[in-house]
Structure 1
Amino acid sequence: MSDELCIQASDFDSLKAHLLGAAEERCAILFASQSKRSDGQIRFLVREVDYPTEAEYSRQGELEAELKPALVARVSKHAKINGLSLIFVHTHPGDRPPIFSPVDDRGELVLSDFLKSRLGSGENASLVMSNGGVRARILGQHDELRVVVVGRRRAVVFEPGLDGPSTSDMFDRQVRAFGAAGQQRLADTRVAIVGLGGTGSIAAQQLVHLGVRRFILIDPDIIEVTNLNRVVGATAQDVGAPKVAVAARYIRSFSPDAEIATWQGDVVHDVTARTMIDADLILLCTDSHGSRSVVQQVAYQHLIPCIDMGSTITQSDSQITGIFGRVQLLSPGLPCLWCSALLDAEQVRRDMMNESERRLDPYIPGSREPAPSVVSLNGTVVSLAVSMLLGVVAGAPFDATHLIYNGQASSLRSVRGEARSTCFICSRDGALAWGSNRQLLTRRD
């Protein structure tokens, strides 16, 4: 298990533009929070990038770059005040994949000792770049870090100890479509499915058939009779069984070796929400505003791409007036559900209440009427979402990030939105890339 350095796509593009292509070696400083997973893995989440001025180099040439102590003191102070780790970036010449040199090794030992005296025992990291790629490791050590770039795509740009893709003949037709490397990325990606009802159960079915082998399944509910017409894999004998158990059974029937973690709980609760931190990508298949608010915060705060989906059948006087579906990628650089005006603050408030609070609230009417739901519409929306996932993970040419389906008009259109620069969720002024350094807006009862 390798720890991970996660960089937003805009920051990675900025690093390449500022540092590569120059005649001399160049440096940058990254400030990163940490995201801590249940298995002990640490993910460094880059929040800020600092480019030293020419005056802050003590030496700089084609084969060397050294920063002045005053610069190191300045960035160390900023990191300590904000509780962040430091990642020191420098370039190597040439077009071959970079490796750390003996000079790098010696310099990092000195730097690591200095930072421990200033910042304490927390880990910091280093990253070397060339025109041929990147390589990262814990500062002053030989423990290499996986490097992941997150935006419209989730790209692993450096994988320690990678031996090359190994795929089964079962996926021959898919490999012909998006390559052996893309198929391997599907197998390596841990997908959390939040909600295993009418959409989530279909998503689980499609993903395991595509070759996803690592799952986190989250849902608080059990199978009811009214679920049987649209929950894939459920039978009459499953009434009363947890939805996560039914989904896990289906996955194992197709892939006995699949790695599956199940959690029967509601993501509005903090202990359940934290299970999503272990994921590499999240499929959001719930219909409550409260759960969607929490899931998207996890996505932006921990730099985990999330695909939100939903379908709606509107009626008037018992007549269908609209059939709609929506799929949206939530990831750094893209607007969140608040920026897209798709969450209702009052509904979020109600969803976050416990039962006793709901009974005492004069603004909450009786139980909510179940919304219409049809398996064919759910399947259409899920297929769009899973195709979007193939673009994010496997590099397939699915470029849309927000799709609207109109069943009555038989139309599909791509829409674009703008993220607010001061959004409390998806901006750098908000939760973006704060990882485990900040609490989630969840229930703790």
Structure 2
Amino acid sequence: MSGLRTLQGTCRSLADDLLAATAAEACAIGYAHFDPITESWVLAEASPVDQSAYVSRTSTSVCLHPAVLVDIANRARAKRLSPVMIHTHPHAAGRPVFSLIDDAGEKEMKAFFDRRAPQARPLAMVIGPQGLSARRLGLQTPVDVWEVGTGLTLLSDEAGGFQEGDLRHDRQIRAFGRDGQQMIARLKILVVGAGGTGSATVQQLAYLGAENVTIVDPDSVEATNLNRLIGATAADIGTPKVDVARRAILAVNPKAAVQGIVGDIIDGPVAGLIGGFDFIFLCTDSHASRAVVGQAAYQYLVPTIDLGVSLTVADGLVSHMTGRVQMLAPGLPCLTCTGALNGEQIRREMLTPTQRAADPYVLGAHVPQPAVVSINSTVASLAITMFLGAVTAMPAQSRFQYYDGVRGTVRPTAAAQRCGCIVCSPSGALGHGPSWPLPVRPAGAHHV
């Protein structure tokens, strides 16, 4: 379970409002989109209740009018949302914990919501001066709360620390701290594409200490892949690329939880898994897959790093060696805003084999592009460093970079979000979770 995702600043702002100038407990109501496939939530909104909503308030308890709960249940049922019942423990030291009073009150609320909004999966959250905790309402099952923006922060930390005697990661712990190492280990990471950049990314994640990695790729190893597919040998020809990637991770960390999915991310059943991950590396040159994952990054609040490599050859000579690394997350421009997607190419890649054969605008076979392992590895390293800047104390601030192999430069670049963008703006897919469809390939169209 990936927990509850919130836009950067939402919980902190709410905590400031609720804890300001009062010694009594205070309440807020949130509503979240629940994804039953991945059992995760995306917070749609949250705000403090009006003063008239309270029956009573003390420093250790708070009670809302029954009519308020009726309104919450009615809205949750009508909008197919899950309530998030939020209150404060203003005198808590450290991360707050739920009290026995909370336990009793939640049982009654859960029974009420089960009757009035049975489709909902309500949550409870308690906020204190030094942190917050969340759980399934009435079930006492802890739920992680993530803040997603230019970085990824775990606001509720239920995980244990690393062993003091763990020397494997000692040198990098000295760089970004034990908390950073713990974050890398607990993240559920999805790598889309196990080819050139994907295999290099997977290798570096393994050495960093990532312990929960899923790799998605529809293809098997071919002889022409062996010049750049890290970890592959001639004996792997015909083997799914995800199996090679899985083997590479387990060779470094046999205890890691690694899953390989032989499938295409643009197909609905595979794309439907995206909401269950905490971070994504998008390592594919397919415009269709980048469109699907790129929208999901904002829709489900799953920060994603897109990697791209291009070698241009003219008259037998290399004229350009370029790479791009772009983080996709709330507050940052999407691939549509930066002009990185080709609509016609997306259309072609979404066609079934029969449709593709009949389409007068699809001419000839796919022409393999030049690829060199060193360029792929350079771009993968830039992406991994960007990832470290987003999830640890590593001061890597750039979220959009261009690599020029001819000039030997790495250049950070700035881009703006387009007003009203259908992908990354509040009026588009941002934060809508499973309530919006993803632009997946029509059912029955299979990868070839």
TM-score, normalised with respect to structure 1: 0.92
Q: Which residue of 2 aligns with 1:56?
A: 53
75, 79, 82: which is aligned to 1:82?
A: 79
Distance (Å, rounded) in 2 between the aligned partners of 1:284 and 1:80: 36
Task: Verify: 1:27 aligned to 2:27, yes or no.
Answer: yes
Aligned 8 A contact 1:145 1:159 in 2:
no
CA distance in 1, matches of 2:153, 2:163: 18
2:242 corresponds to: 244
Name the structure 2 match of 1:67.
64
Deviation at 1:215, TM superposition (A): 1.5
Shift of 1:89: 1.1
| Distance (Å, rounded) in 1 between the aligned partners of 2:361 and 2:277 | 36
| CA distance in structure 1 between the aligned counterparts of 2:36 and 2:412, rounded to whole angstroms | 35
Tell me the residue number matched to 1:408: 406
Structure 2 counterparts to residues 263-274 of structure 1, below 5 A: 263-274=261-272
Write the deviation string for residues 178-224 of structure 1: whole angstroms up to 9, x where unpaired: 12221122122222111111110111111111111222111111222
In the other structure, the counterpart of 1:204 is: 202
Cα 1:26–1:324 change in 2 (3 A) is: same
Structure 1 residues 74 and 428 mapped into 2: Cα distance closer, same or farther (>3 Å)?
A: farther
- Kindly report which structure 2 residues correspond to 1:289-438, keeping only aligned pairs within 5 A, or say none: 289-438=287-436
Q: SS of 1:377's equivalent? A: helix
- Deviation, structure 1 residue 64: 4.6
State which drifts further: 100-109 or 122-131: 100-109
The amino acid that maps onto 1:29 is: I
Distance 1:208 1:380 in 2: 17
How far off is 1:316 after superposition? 3.9
Residue of structure 2 equivalent to 1:262: 260
Following TM superposition, where does structure 1 have runs of at least 4 consecutive aligned residues deviating by more than 6 angstroms? none
| Greater Cα shift, 184-193 or 435-444 | 435-444
Match of 2:90 among 89, 93, 99: 93
> Alpha-carbon deviation of 1:329?
1.0
* C-alpha deviation, 1:48, in angstroms: 1.4
Looking at structure 1, the residues matched to 30 and 421 of structure 2 have their Cα atoms a distance apart, in angstroms, of 22
- 1:122 Cα offset (Å): 3.2
Deviates more, 1:240-249 or 1:200-209: 240-249
Contact residue 322 and residue 405 of structure 2 kept, 8 A: yes
CA contact (8 A) 2:40 2:276 kept: no
Distance 1:186 1:246 in 2: 22
> Does the CA contact (< 8 Å) of 2:80 and 2:119 recur in 1?
no
Q: 1:68 to 1:421 in 2, by over 3 A?
A: farther
TM-superposed deviation, 1:234: 1.4
Q: Measure how far apart 1:421 and its partner are.
A: 4.8
For residues 130 and 283 of structure 1, what CA distance do their matches in structure 2 show? 34
Tell me the secondary structure at the aligned position of residue 158 of structure 1. coil
| 2:18 and 2:48 in contact (8 A); partners too | no
- The separation in 2 between residues aligned to 1:397 and 1:219, in whole angstroms, is 32
In structure 2, distance between residues paired with 1:52 and 1:419: 32
The structure-2 alpha-carbon separation of the partners of 1:418 and 1:61, relative to structure 1 and needing over 3 Å to count, comes to farther
Q: Deviations over 1:75-105 (max 9, x none)?
A: 3332222100000111121361222233333
Contact 1:402 1:415 in 2 (8 A): yes
Identity across the alignment (%):
38
User: Which residue of the partner structure matches residue 109 of structure 1?
Assistant: 107
In the alignment, residue 26 of structure 1 is paired with which amino acid?
A: A
What corresponds to 2:36 in structure 1? 36
Distance 1:252 1:420 in 2: 42
Structure 1 alignment gaps of length 5 or more: none
Q: Is the 8 A contact 2:9 2:147 kept in 1?
A: no
Q: Deviations over 1:28-74 (max 9, x none)?
A: 21110112346xxx212101123323343444455554433443333
- Structure 1: how far apart are the matches of 2:340 and 2:52? 48
Distance, in Å, in 2 between the alignment partners of 1:163 and 1:211 is 15
Alignment of 1:180-195 (within 5 A): 180-195=178-193
Q: Secondary structure at the match of 1:145?
A: coil
Deviation at 1:3, TM superposition (A): 6.7
Distance 1:414 1:56 in 2: 49
Structure 1 pair 151/58, CA: closer, same or farther in 2 (3 Å)? Answer: same
Q: Counterparts of 1:272 and 1:144 in 2: how far apart (Å)?
A: 27
Q: Closer, same or farther in 2 for the Cα pair 1:247/1:269, shift >3 Å? A: same
Counterpart position of 1:173: 171
- State the Cα deviation string for residues 389-438 of structure 1 (Å, max 9, x = none): 11223332212111112222322222233334533222333333333344
**Following TM superposition, by how much is the alpha carbon of 1:292 offset from its aligned partner in structure 2, in angstroms?**
0.5
Cα gap change, 1:49 to 1:233, in 2 (>3 Å): same
How many Å apart are 1:21 and its aligned residue? Answer: 3.1
Partner SS state of residue 111, structure 2: helix
CA distance in 1, matches of 2:2, 2:236: 40
Give the distance between the partners of 1:324 and 1:293, measured in 2 at CA.
21
What are the Cα deviations for residues 347-397 of structure 1, in whole angstroms up to 9, with x where unaligned? 111111111111111111212322222211111110010111112233322
Give the aligned residue type for 2:27: C
Contact 1:193 1:200 in 2 (8 A): yes
Mapped partners of 1:398, 1:35: distance in 2: 32
In structure 2, what residue type is equivalent to 1:68?
H
**After the TM superposition, which of the residue ranges 56-65 and 260-269 deviates more from structure 2?**
56-65
Aligned CA distance change for structure 1 residues 306 and 3 (closer, same or farther; 3 Å): closer
How many Å separate the matches in 1 of 2:253 and 2:59? 52
The residue number in structure 2 matching 1:45 is 42
State the shift of 1:300 in Å: 2.3
How far did 1:255 drift? Answer: 1.9
Assess, with a 3 A threshold, how the Cα gap between structure 1 residues 12 and 414 changes in structure 2: closer, same or farther.
farther
Count of residue pairs the alignment pairs up: 440
1: CA distance between counterparts of 2:163 and 2:183? 10
Partner of 2:230: 232
Matched, 1:163 2:163: no
The 3-state SS of whatever aligns with 1:293 is: helix
